[in-house]
Amino acid sequence: MLKLVYKRFIGAMMLIVIASVFCFLLIAAFPGNVALVIAEQRSATVSIEIVHQVEEEYGLKDPILVRYGRWLGDTLRGDLGRSLRTGEPVGPALLRRAAPTFVLILAGATVALTIGLGFSLLGALWPGGMVDRGVRALALVGASMPKFFIAALLVYAFGVLLKVLPTYGFDGPSSWILPALAIGIVPGALISRVTRVALESAMSRPYVTTALAKGMSRGRILVRDAVPNVLPVVVNAFGIHFAFMVQAAIVIEPIFAWPGVASYFVEAARFRDYQVLQSSLLLFSMFFILVNFVVDLIVLTIDPKQRRPRSA
């Protein structure tokens, strides 16, 4: 077990290093002159001398490996540079904006897990009936709708027509409901479809037939025997969609005017703020990799088959 954990940890660290390379190269390959953008932020009139001064100050003429090493070293020391747009340090700005994004992802994950488990259990309790067909149809519709369209529908329904929930800003639990639904409905629908198939397979096993013949109720068999067997599948599906919620937050946060990391990233892309873009991309990549690492550990703990040594 410890050997497997160690190998997964080393793999995660290697992926983070590779992700840092791609984050740096992706931003470095942006079209246009970075020095010119920085010079335009500093002065209304830009001359060749100012551009050359910026290039010397930021080391933009250095080889790409030297620039990457300098950026990585600063990042490891906690120095993420300064925003080209506002001049504020990037690290404290990301830390300040982390709370709204964390709340959004956590609330969305709660919605996704509730929908995923609720729909799949309802369908498994009454397979083939009206309830099962109804939740399957709802899951299909939910999985097919784009997140921005769901967000727009929620804003129109609860903010414009009913006027019962706030539609913008990070101002207490009532303002969390619509963003959480917008980011959690699609993952919840997808999780419910995966879990429903796994439960259907588990409930078709011989031990279920034997338990039914002994007089046990279907609900008891489902909770006591089937759910533990499909738990690794549920954890894997939930972990994948939980990690991808950072990507979804890039769409959801601007719609609801949330002051989070994803919204900060969108603003940086709009103004070509390279320092913020590099740090935000690295943060998103690390989140994705570390979530998958934690999911691997959980699956290793609850699924004995994953801990068996593979035969040659």
Both 131 and 265 in one domain: the answer is yes
Question: Could you report the per-residue pLDDT of 107-155, keeping only the tens digit for each?
Answer: 999 999 999 988 888 888 888 788 888 888 988 888 888 888 999 999 9
On average, the pLDDT of the chain sits at 84
Q: What distance in Å separates the CA atoms of residue 292 and residue 281, rounded to the nearest whole number?
A: 17
Both 45 and 114 in one domain: the answer is no
Tell me which residue range forms the domain holding 18: 2-76
Q: Is residue 86 part of a domain?
A: no
Both 132 and 250 in one domain: the answer is yes
Closest CA to 187 of 255, 243, 231, 227: 243
Question: Could you report the per-residue pLDDT of 27-53, keeping only the tens digit for each?
Answer: 777 666 677 777 776 666 777 777 777
pTM above 0.85, yes or no: no
Both 249 and 145 in one domain: the answer is yes
What is the arithmetic mean of pLDDT over 88-114?
91
Q: Is residue 69 part of a domain?
A: yes
Both 130 and 264 in one domain: the answer is yes
What is the arithmetic mean of pLDDT over 68-95?
85
The pLDDT value given to residue 184: 92
The pLDDT value given to residue 187: 92
Q: Is residue 173 part of a domain?
A: yes
The pLDDT value given to residue 106: 93
The pLDDT value given to residue 181: 93
Both 133 and 229 in one domain: the answer is yes
Count how many domains the chain has: 2
Question: Could you report the per-residue pLDDT of 278-292, keeping only the tens digit for each?
Answer: 888 899 999 999 998
Question: Could you report the per-residue pLDDT of 258-271, keeping only the tens digit for each?
Answer: 888 999 998 888 87
The pLDDT value given to residue 305: 66
Amino acid at 44: A
The pLDDT value given to residue 18: 92
Q: What distance in Å separates the CA atoms of residue 7 and residue 148, rounded to the nearest whole number?
A: 39
Both 158 and 278 in one domain: the answer is yes
Both 41 and 174 in one domain: the answer is no
Q: Tell me: pLDDT of 312 over 50.
A: no
Q: Is residue 232 part of a domain?
A: yes
Residue 28, token pair as written in the block:
């470095």
Confidence of residue 307 (pLDDT cuts 50, 70, 90): low
The pLDDT value given to residue 14: 92
Question: Could you report the per-residue pLDDT of 175-217, keeping only the tens digit for each?
Answer: 899 999 999 999 999 999 888 888 888 888 888 888 888 888 8
Q: Is residue 151 part of a domain?
A: yes
Residue 84, token pair as written in the block:
């080209």
The pLDDT value given to residue 42: 66
Q: Is residue 88 part of a domain?
A: no
Both 146 and 31 in one domain: the answer is no
Q: Is residue 190 part of a domain?
A: yes
The pLDDT value given to residue 104: 92
Both 167 and 243 in one domain: the answer is yes
Both 67 and 118 in one domain: the answer is no
What is the arithmetic mean of pLDDT over 3-23?
87
The pLDDT value given to residue 67: 84
Question: Could you report the per-residue pLDDT of 49-60, keeping only the tens digit for each?
Answer: 777 777 777 777
Q: What distance in Å separates the CA atoms of residue 181 and residue 102, rounded to the nearest whole number?
A: 15
CB atoms within 10 A of CB 141: 11
Phi, psi dihedrals of residue 236, rounded to the nearest 5°: -60, -50
The pLDDT value given to residue 44: 63
Both 23 and 148 in one domain: the answer is no
The pLDDT value given to residue 102: 92
Length of the chain: 312
Q: Tell me: pLDDT of 257 over 50.
A: yes
Indicate the residue among 10, 45, 76 that finishes a domain.
Answer: 76
Q: Is residue 33 part of a domain?
A: yes
User: Is-contact 273 279, C-beta < 8 A?
Assistant: no
